[in-house]
Amino acid sequence: MNKHKFKYKWNLADGYPAKEIEKNNLKVFGTFICGGGSSMGYKLAGFNHLGGVEIDPKLAEVYKENHNPRFFYNMDIRKFNELEDLPNELYNLDILDGSPPCSSFSMAGNREKDWGKNKQFREGQANQVLDDLVFVYCDTIIKLQPKVFILENVKGIIQGNAKVYAKNIVKKMTDNGYKVQVFLLNAASMGVPQKRERVFFIGHKKEFDLPKLKLSFNEDAINFSQVTCDGNDEKMSDNETKNWHIAKPGQAVGKFQTYKKLEMNKVSNTIVASNPHYHPSEARRLNYAEEKMIGTYPLDYNFKGAQPRYLIGMSVPPVMVAQIAHEIYLQWLK
């Protein structure tokens, strides 16, 4: 059996970094920081995470409660890019991280129909053109000039007509002094108990002339049977209960294909912000502890009243980020 470098079941009270990982104190700053999934990944891997940018005021409060950031900006990334009084530390970053909202590129969304349109991502946020945000984040990278940048997005950004966005991201960053690689990674091979494919654009300044980054993860799969536990946090409707009894494990519960009845001896489907998954043998939705472990969020995270599934579904799993960050440290920054 492979030993999992980073644990899917953990607590903030355990402290950072993860056991057997040395603290390196290299500086990271995040954008589109949400509830802090990526931040925790860098901290688990030994990095010093300075803070970040988040447009949503409610999510900003959750982030500050759990992370006590040194630098935090509750604003649109476009406004952040206009600031001229940023601290010097942000111009001397080892890694700048960003996961621009990806619904425009998701294969489950409207894709081309929504490109170029103003949309409100959620209540409390401003209307904005979401597919432009990948390039707005590129402007942030160019502004701050980190040694290394990471841009994460859904698999759909390298499929179909969206490939032009991916090519333009690489071109823009190459033209502005970075060597860029593109990786498609599945969290299920990285010690995360869910099938979650994500694309990572990872670049470093050309002046460092570093070798190509190699990212290959082959950790043992963690099936749902390893994370299931007692508890029932969300009551199902009568219709849900009826559909649960009809569905077989692995099938959709009801008409929406993203509402899955999980399979006990298989890896969980991707945790989605707005959609519940269901236990395979108990007539209930997944409980919060199961969702936290599947998303590799700490069991003692303070969600400040927010639904855990929303933040977990919106986040890159902390363990997924920790795996990538650890390799970047070993191969490039150490």
* Identity of residue 54: E
* Identity of residue 260: K
Q: Which of helix, strand or coil describes residue 75?
A: coil
Q: Any alpha helices (H) in the chain, and if so which ranges?
A: 37-44, 57-67, 77-82, 133-144, 163-175, 238-246, 288-294, 308-314, 318-328
Note if the bond before 276 is cis, omega within 30 degrees: no
Distance (Å, rounded) from C-alpha 16 to C-alpha 289? 21
Residue 138 annotated to the active site: no
Q: Which two tokens stand for residue 316?
A: 């890159």
Phi, psi (deg, nearest 5) at residue 330: -65, -40
Residue 332's nearest CA partner among 217, 215, 206, 204 is 204
DSSP H or E segment with residue 322? helix 318-328
Would you name the residues annotated as active-site residues? Answer: 102
